[in-house]
Amino acid sequence: MVPLNKNLRISLILAVAILLWLLSGLFLSPATDGNANKSIDSKLTSIQATWAQVQAFRPQLSLRAKTEANRVVDVKAQISGRIIAVPVEEGSEVVAGDTLCKIDEEDRRLRIRHAQAALAQAEIEFNGAQKLKQSGYQSELAIAQAKTKLEAARVAFERSGLDVENLSIKAPFVGIVENRPVEVGDFVQPGQLCAQIVELNPLKVTAVVTESEISKISLTSLAKVTLVNGDVLSGKITYLSRQADPITRSYKVEATVENPDLRFLAGMSARLQIEGQAIQAHLISASLMLLDDQGHLAVRAVNDQGVINTLEVSSVGESSEGVWVAGLPDKIALVTVGQNYVTDGEQVTASFTNSSDSL
C-alpha cells in the first residue's frame, strides 16, 4: 500500500468534515427552526400603531366680516310744500306708520271739495246723456264724451285725496331715524329727502369667500359671529353671491342674526365662522403627519401583513384634539411611534396602544 502524502491526507480530512456538517442539517430539530425564525423577527423594526375610524366632520370657515343694517331706506316727499312739523329726532326709534315729516295742507282740502263737486256734476251729465240715448235724442259720441268727463272727474277727486294723505310722510317699517335733513319751515319738492330709516333687527353680517371656499357653504348653514367687543351671536347664512367680483374673484356671503334690543350697530368689525357641509375625514394627532418625497402631507400606516404604506392626505380642519384629514380608507392602522424610522414597503413588527387591538 502506497502511503498518502501529507497534503492528500489533509484534503481528505477536510472533505469528511464538510460532509458531516452538511449531513447534520438534515437532523435539526423543530426547536432549532423556531430559534432561527425568532432571530429573523428580531431584526424587524418595531413600531406602535392605533386604529383610526372615519367620522363625519363639518369644516369651519373663519372670515373677516362687518355688520350692516338689514335695510336702509330714504323716505322722500311725494308732493311739494312747506314743512310744518318734524315729530321725530335723529336717532329716534320709529315703528311703521309713524309720521316723520308733515307738510302744510294749504288749499288741498278745498281742492277735494271742488273735485267732489265736479264729480257729482259729471255723474249727473252722464246719467242724463244715458236717458236721452234711450229716447233717441243723443248720439254715441255725446255718450262717450260724457263718460270721459266722468272718469276724469273721478280721477281728479281720488288724486286730491292722495295729496292730502301724502301730507304726512310716514315710516315704512320699524327702525332708527339715521338722518333727517329738513326742519320746520323748509320747502320740499317731490323726491326730496325727508328722513333716512335703518333697520337693525335683524342685523346682517357680510364677508367675502374665495372660489375654493364658496362650494363649502350652503344657504341656512349655521354661523357664529364674534364682534370686536367680544360679544358672540348666532345666526344662519341667508345670501350667497352667484357672481364673483371681477377683480378679486371672491364671492359675497351674508349671515342674519337677531338684534331685538338694537344693542349691536351697523359697521362693527366681526369674525364670521361658518359651519360647512359635512364631509368624511379622520381625526389624528398632528405628530403623525410628515412630508413625502414630493412634499405632500402624508401619514404612515401598517397593513395586515405588517408592511408599511405611506399615504397622502389633505388637511381639512383643526380642533383642540388634533387635525382632521381626508384621503384615507374608512378604517386604517396608523403608525404612532417609529414612523420616522421606517420606509414605504418595509416589513415591521407592530404593536398596538390598546392591547386588545391587532392586525
**Domain 45-57+279-352 grouped into CATH 1.20.1630.10:** no
CB 208 within 8 A of CB 252: yes
What is the arithmetic mean of pLDDT over 158-165? 89
**Listed residue (225, 174, 219) closest to 68, CA to CA:** 225
Look at residues 43, 45, 49, 44 and name the one whose alpha carbon lies nearest to residue 303.
49
pLDDT(42) > 90: no
Query: CA-CA distances (angstroms) from residue 326 to 53, 190, 270, 296?
Result: 12, 62, 30, 13
Range(s) of the chain covered by CATH 2.40.30.170: 62-69+199-275
pLDDT at 292: 84
- In the chain, CATH 1.10.287 sits at 105-166
Residue whose C-alpha cell reads 415591521 in the numeric block: 348
Q: Evaluate if residue 22 carries a pLDDT over 60.
A: yes
Residue 125: predicted pLDDT: 85
Q: Which of 259, 213, 268, 199 is nearest to 234 (CA)?
A: 259
Q: Please, where in the chain does CATH 2.40.420.20 lie?
A: 45-57+279-352
CA angle, residues 157, 163, 169, in degrees to nearest 5: 155
Q: What does each C-alpha distance from 187 to 33, 87, 96, 282 come to in angstroms?
A: 112, 17, 25, 70
* Strongest mean pLDDT among 75-84, 146-155, 219-228: 75-84
Average pLDDT value for residue range 172-183: 94
Distance CA 100, CA 161 (A): 20
Q: What is the mean pLDDT of residues 207-223?
A: 87
- What is the CATH T-level fold of the domain 62-69+199-275, as seen in this structure? Elongation Factor Tu (Ef-tu); domain 3 (2.40.30)
Q: Do 340 and 346 meet the contact criterion of CB atoms below 8 Å apart?
A: no
Place 332 in a pLDDT band, splitting at 50, 70 and 90: very high
* pLDDT value at 32 more than 50: no
- Mean pLDDT of the 137-156 span: 83
**What is the rounded CA–CA span in Å between residue 217 and residue 235?**
14
Antiparallel, parallel or unpaired: β 322-326 and 279-284: antiparallel
What's the Cα-to-Cα distance from 38 to each of 4, 26, 43, 348, rounded to whole Å? 47, 20, 9, 14
Query: Which whole number is the average pLDDT over 326-343?
Result: 90
Choices 1.10.287, 1.10.357, 3.40.50, 1.10.10: CATH for 105-166: 1.10.287
SS3 51: strand
Strand-pair category, 60-76 with 175-179: unpaired
pLDDT of residue 36: 46
- Grid cell locating 45: 423594526
Distance (Å) of CA 331 to CA 53, 107, 311: 5, 86, 13
Beta-bridge partners for 269: 66
